[in-house]
Amino acid sequence: MQIIENKLIKEKIYIEKLKSGFTIMCIPKTNTRKKYAICAVGYGSNDNKFIKSDEDKETIIPDGVAHFLEHKLFEQENGTNSLDTLSALGVEANAYTTNDHTAYLFECTNNFEEALAELLKYVQNPYFTNENVEKEKGIITQEINMYNDEPDWKVYINCMKALYKINPIRIDVAGSVESIKKITKDILYECYNNFYVPENMILTLVGDFNPEQTIEKIKTKITIKSKLKAQVIEEQEEFKINKKEISEKMDISTSIFSIAYKVNPIEKEKVKRSLAIEILLEILFGESSKCYKELYERGLIYENLSTSFEWGRNYAHVLIQGKSENIKEVEKLLKQTIKDSEKQGIEEKNFERAKRKLYGMYVREFNNVDQEAIMFTSNYFKKVNPFEYIENYKIISKEYLEKVQKEVFKEENYVISCIKPKESDE
Amino acid sequence: MNYIKEQIKDGVSLHLIINENFKTDFTVIFLSIPLKKDTVTKNALIPAILKDGCRKYINYQSISEELEMLYGALFDCGLDKTGDNLVLKFYIESINDKYLPEKNNNLEKVIDLLFEIVFNPLIEENKFNEKYLKLEKKNLELLINSIKDEKDLYAYEKCINIMYKDSGYGISKYGKIGDLEKITSENLYEQYKKIISSSKIDIIVSGNYEKESIEQKIKENKLIKSLNPRNDILNKNNYKTEIKEIIQNPEIKKEEMDIAQGKLVIGLDILPNNLGDFRFIAIVYNSIFGNGVNSKLFQIVREKESLAYTTKSEYIVQKNNIFIRCGIECEKYEKTVELIEKLLEDMEKGDFTEEDIRKSKEYILSGIDSINEEQDSQILFKFGQELSKLPLSLEEYKENIKKVTKNQVIEFAKKIQINTIYFLKSGGKNADN
């Protein structure tokens, strides 16, 4: 068993990889009655083209299969639905799909053992029929339509479409109303059998546990057959944006925008670099920055300006999002800010404040059972030890930031996506 | 967890919640006042303008700098409608010193900062800063206009507004654009002073700290000392005061927007009954009917009939209402409404099992158990108790839930009537504001 510890934030992770390849990760917490369990599979919406371990030809599946599987896995052969069974135990059960993994989870204060047994049972025992697959299409169609009405989501996905030509990050996790029509029981089984394999699965537990005993007990309940995982085909895309701008109109009151810089997705120093980019974004556009003050006091942005750095398999980009009645002016000011900063360098006091803010943000990630379980799971699939962020925080220098700044904010990698009100004549 | 409440002055309370479960501390100020049509827009501007600067930190930028120095303490402010009252809320969440690379007295500094923002605003010549007022008026106007951007929330607000018209609970907490013109930096400052001198003030500190030192620090703070005692002026809203009348036909209202998914909201009344303190019966009823995956709404409207992706109901204890909210295909409106009406009748007929009750109770009880597992839910629970004047420990709450019987739920179901059906559907035209 591997144990990783961070003394500053007083956290320990216990990791055990079973013979079958199945991984169990346990993060013990005291002073809480809550227990959180996530069983996750390294299979997400980006995995839509692959070669099975026992074939040599390529398989291409419709968009939205990972998410469809997530919906259908709850159904059991005896006619019960595990979501209902878990809920009847008084536990809060749910599931979600991302671009690189699918997670099945519950949180509880009571009945942990029964709930965990149910979770492991349903994740390891799929039951799909033509009838239950058809029925789900109505529900997922409603889910897709709901997102299509959400301007914030729309502006984001359009931004991804502007950034990427091939990378599946540009498609909706749930697929489209058209693509899910093509999903059948056989496709679901095919994907389940080729991705839901021990080496591609992890169980994350956070809460009041004795890690050694808990892991020992759980081992016997992992019965899923070993099989080699299908090899996902990743088409490398050129490090070049797809489109400068995407603009759409919707029934909304104020324009919103997603501005992004495409960043080269390199593996080297990924944590250190991502931390540096987040610090930079704080310094340049954070709430205490000169740029933010000007945007705010001139009434150019409204509510707030949010910035983030997103990265994963073969993609990385900086995002700057907000609401404005004058997006052109916002763009101008953002670009000017970057130019000035490159010329004048970074001020020590701004650097210190941004570092402190980021430190606080990372400590918060370890503050509650739910957040932690989700964070550890998603970092596992990114192959990152989450303590690295806290550790790297100390070693980032101003010079390193200045170097990263030059790499990240390149005009040729800049895109913008806007959603404008119907009435606007822009 | 250790909870101590102290009355600093009449109408000014300090709540200390001490626990070791979290890495963060919460410092919160709630200012509660009656919700009134003629002051609501002004009140909505107050948190906004206070965050733009105070005497000590003269603009948003310098407040932000201070927050960042406190290892990224997070400040937020806003408005909550609770029954016929309005709560102006201000809070800062900060990292506890134990988890910092060095001692920083984070909590002490946060308390000072929050008091400065709320009680020592940036006032020049007896008025708020003109430039910031202009900015915040514009921001509020955009905010009011943007309510329609979130279709689900918009539909919900619309339904409430139809049921209560322009009084009390029917008032939008953000106010009206038409009021903005008359608001000046002078009369806004007058309103601020009125709130500070007459609102019910609750100061809550939750986290891992020494009770004595924090308590003393707060009591001796000059700004707190200068507060006057005040009487209780809040509206009383509870299951006894909210009397609903029988209506013959529900009001039905449909509007169109350019959307893909229709939003259906159904407002239900709880009619007078002889079930005594029926709040716990209502919670169990609502859970069986529409809250959670084992509920009738989820199992039948979503799972069996595939009519919706989101479907749930919510019990508003202060107003004796239950609201049903669904996102559905526009063509399925008639079918969904008919089905929901049938499900409501099924509840009256007792068409649910003891097992359904058991599952629902289990779900509710585990929800109660998790209240103390999160700082904000713990704070909101304590504050809710404070406002309702019907204090209840979590244990009592659980006991009351356990006691609810099937017969009580059936009797309760007979006292439910549909008051209003609101449907936002797709169409070319905009909804009128």
Q: Which of A251, A293, A323 sits opposite B257 (nearest CB)?
A: A251
Contacts of A293 in chain B (CB under 8 A): 59-61
Identify the CA nearest to B148 among candidates B123, B174, B169.
B174
**Residue B428: per-residue pLDDT:** 60
In a domain, A41, yes or no: yes
In the predicted model, what is the mean pLDDT of residues B393-413?
Answer: 96
The Cβ-side half-sphere exposure at B150, using a 13 Å CA radius, reads: 8
More confident site: B401 or B392: B401
My answer on whether A141 and A289 are in the same domain is no
Residue B353 contacts A, CB cutoff 8 Å: no
- Give the count of beta carbons closer than 10 Å to the beta carbon of residue B94: 27
Q: Distance, in angstroms, between A181 CA and closest chain B CA?
A: 15
Provide the chain B residues 319-338 that lie in CB contact (below 8 A) with chain A.
Answer: 327-329
**Inter-chain CB proximity A33 and B149 less than 8 Å:** no
My answer on whether A411 and A302 are in the same domain is yes
**Residue A33: per-residue pLDDT:** 86
Q: Which of B20, B139, B149 sits opposite A253 (nearest CB)?
A: B149
My answer on whether A177 and A263 are in the same domain is no
Q: Which residues contact A336 (CB under 8 A, 6 or more apart)?
A: none
**Inter-chain CB proximity A146 and B310 less than 8 Å:** yes
Could you give the domains of chain B?
A: 2-225 (3.30.830.10), 251-426 (3.30.830.10)
Q: Which region, left, alpha or beta, applies to residue B29 given φ > 0 means left and ψ of -120 to 50 means alpha?
A: beta
From CA B266, how far away is CA B421, in angstroms rounded? Answer: 5
Scanning every residue of chain B, which has its alpha carbon at the shortest distance from the alpha carbon of A391?
Answer: B101
The three-point CA angle A346-A350-A356 to 5° equals 125
My answer on whether A122 and A182 are in the same domain is yes
**Inter-chain CB proximity A357 and B68 less than 8 Å:** yes
Residue B72 contacts A, CB cutoff 8 Å: yes
Q: Is the pLDDT of residue A423 over 80?
A: no
Q: Is the pLDDT of residue B74 over 50?
A: yes
Q: Distance, in angstroms, between A295 CA and closest chain B CA?
A: 11
Q: Which residues contact B322 (CB under 8 A, 6 or more apart)?
A: B267, B268, B270, B282, B286, B289, B290, B313, B314, B315, B316, B416
**Residue B149: per-residue pLDDT:** 85
Q: Is A70 a catalytic residue?
A: yes
Q: Is the pLDDT of residue B420 over 50?
A: yes
From CA B195, how far away is CA B307, in angstroms rounded? Answer: 47
Provide the chain B residues 122-141 that lie in CB contact (below 8 A) with chain A.
Answer: 131, 135, 138-139
Give the end of a domain, one of A204, A232, A260.
A232
By DSSP bridging, strand A102-108 and strand B12-18 are unpaired
More confident site: A268 or B336: B336
- The partner residues of B255 in beta bridges, in order of sequence, read B424
From CA A330, how far away is CA B86, in angstroms rounded? Answer: 35
**Residue A267: per-residue pLDDT:** 80
The string of pLDDT tens digits covering residues B200-210 is: 999 999 999 99
Identify the CA nearest to B118 among candidates B35, B185, B42, B57.
B57
From CA A330, how far away is CA A302, in angstroms rounded? Answer: 11
**Inter-chain CB proximity B72 and A287 less than 8 Å:** no
Alpha-carbon distance values, A299 to A292, A341, B180 (Å)? 10, 23, 17
Q: Which residue has the tokens 């916002």?
A: A330
My answer on whether A192 and A221 are in the same domain is yes
Residue type, position A136, single letter: E
Scanning every residue of chain A, which has its alpha carbon at the shortest distance from the alpha carbon of B94?
Answer: A360
Give the end of a domain, one of A202, A232, A262.
A232
Q: Which of A88, A292, A356 sits opposite B72 (nearest CB)?
A: A356
My answer on whether A129 and A256 are in the same domain is no
Given pLDDT bands bounded at 50, 70 and 90, which one contains residue B432? very low
From CA B132, how far away is CA B120, in angstroms rounded? Answer: 16
Q: Distance, in angstroms, between B226 CA and closest chain A CA?
A: 31
In the predicted model, what is the mean pLDDT of residues A172-184?
Answer: 96
In the predicted model, what is the mean pLDDT of residues A370-398?
Answer: 91
The string of pLDDT tens digits covering residues B87-119 is: 999 999 999 999 999 999 999 999 999 999 999
Q: Is the pLDDT of residue B431 over 70?
A: no
Q: Distance, in angstroms, between A120 CA and closest chain B CA?
A: 19
Say if residues A224 and A41 touch (Cβ distance below 8 Å).
no
Can you give the CATH number for the domain in which A271 is found?
Answer: 3.30.830.10
ipTM confidence? 0.89
My answer on whether A199 and A266 are in the same domain is no
Sign of the C-alpha dihedral computed for residues B205, B206, B207 and B212 taken in this order: positive
From CA B83, how far away is CA B81, in angstroms rounded? Answer: 6
In a domain, A239, yes or no: no
The full DSSP string for B348-405 is: HTT-S-HHHHHHHHHHHHHHHHTGGGSHHHHHHHHHHHHHHT----HHHHHHHHHH--
Identify the CA nearest to B368 among candidates A364, A371, A92.
A92
Residue type, position A234, single letter: E
My answer on whether A156 and A302 are in the same domain is no
Q: Which of B73, B100, B294 sits opposite A88 (nearest CB)?
A: B294
SS3 of A395, please?
coil
Scanning every residue of chain A, which has its alpha carbon at the shortest distance from the alpha carbon of B100?
Answer: A8
In the predicted model, what is the mean pLDDT of residues A230-247?
Answer: 93
**Inter-chain CB proximity A368 and B293 less than 8 Å:** no
In a domain, A426, yes or no: no
The Cβ-side half-sphere exposure at A70, using a 13 Å CA radius, reads: 28
Given pLDDT bands bounded at 50, 70 and 90, which one contains residue B433? very low
From CA B231, how far away is CA A155, in angstroms rounded? Answer: 49
Structure tokens, B54: 């105070």
Burial zone of A81 (CB within 10 Å; 0-12 exposed, 13-18 middle, 19+ buried): middle
**Residue B430: per-residue pLDDT:** 47
My answer on whether A207 and A102 are in the same domain is yes
- Give the count of beta carbons closer than 10 Å to the beta carbon of residue B85: 23
Rg (CA), chain A: 23
In a domain, A117, yes or no: yes
From CA B404, how far away is CA B277, in angstroms rounded? Answer: 11
Contacts of A363 in chain B (CB under 8 A): 23-24, 71, 95, 99
The three-point CA angle A174-A180-A185 to 5° equals 110
**Residue B103: per-residue pLDDT:** 92
My answer on whether A214 and A254 are in the same domain is no
Scanning every residue of chain A, which has its alpha carbon at the shortest distance from the alpha carbon of B75?
Answer: A287
Give residue A15's domain range. 2-232
Q: Which of B60, B72, B261 sits opposite A149 (nearest CB)?
A: B261
- What is the domain count for chain A? 2
**Residue B148: per-residue pLDDT:** 86
In the predicted model, what is the mean pLDDT of residues A108-128?
Answer: 94
**Inter-chain CB proximity B72 and A92 less than 8 Å:** no
Q: Is the pLDDT of residue A255 over 50?
A: yes
Residue B426 contacts A, CB cutoff 8 Å: no
Contacts of B65 in chain A (CB under 8 A): 288, 353
- The partner residues of A39 in beta bridges, in order of sequence, read A104, A203
Identify the CA nearest to B289 among candidates B301, B280, B305.
B301
List A11, A16, A70, A75, catalytic entry: A70
Residue type, position A51, single letter: I
**Inter-chain CB proximity B73 and A360 less than 8 Å:** yes
In a domain, A238, yes or no: no
Tell me the H-state helices in B121-176: 130-146, 151-164
SS3 of A311, please?
strand
Structure tokens, A140: 């997922």
Q: Which of B71, B145, B146 sits opposite A360 (nearest CB)?
A: B71
**Residue A360: per-residue pLDDT:** 95
The string of pLDDT tens digits covering residues B135-180 is: 999 999 999 998 988 899 999 999 999 999 978 899 999 999 999 9
The string of pLDDT tens digits covering residues B294-324 is: 899 999 999 888 888 899 999 999 999 999 9
Given pLDDT bands bounded at 50, 70 and 90, which one contains residue B343? very high
**Residue A426: per-residue pLDDT:** 53
The string of pLDDT tens digits covering residues B2-16 is: 999 999 999 999 999
My answer on whether A183 and A301 are in the same domain is no
Q: Which residues contact B385 (CB under 8 A, 6 or more apart)?
A: B391, B392
Q: Distance, in angstroms, between B77 CA and closest chain A CA?
A: 12
- The partner residues of B201 in beta bridges, in order of sequence, read B12, B31
My answer on whether A284 and A195 are in the same domain is no
**Residue A424: per-residue pLDDT:** 67
A-B CB pairs within 8 A amount to 181
In a domain, A351, yes or no: yes
- Give the count of beta carbons closer than 10 Å to the beta carbon of residue B153: 13
State percent of chain B over pLDDT 90.
87
Sign of the C-alpha dihedral computed for residues A311, A316, A318 and A319 taken in this order: negative
Give the end of a domain, one of A188, A206, A232.
A232
In a domain, A240, yes or no: no
Q: Is the pLDDT of residue A185 over 50?
A: yes
Reported residue count of chain A is 426
**Inter-chain CB proximity B72 and A357 less than 8 Å:** yes
The Cβ-side half-sphere exposure at B139, using a 13 Å CA radius, reads: 23
Structure tokens, A333: 């000011």
In the predicted model, what is the mean pLDDT of residues A315-326?
Answer: 96
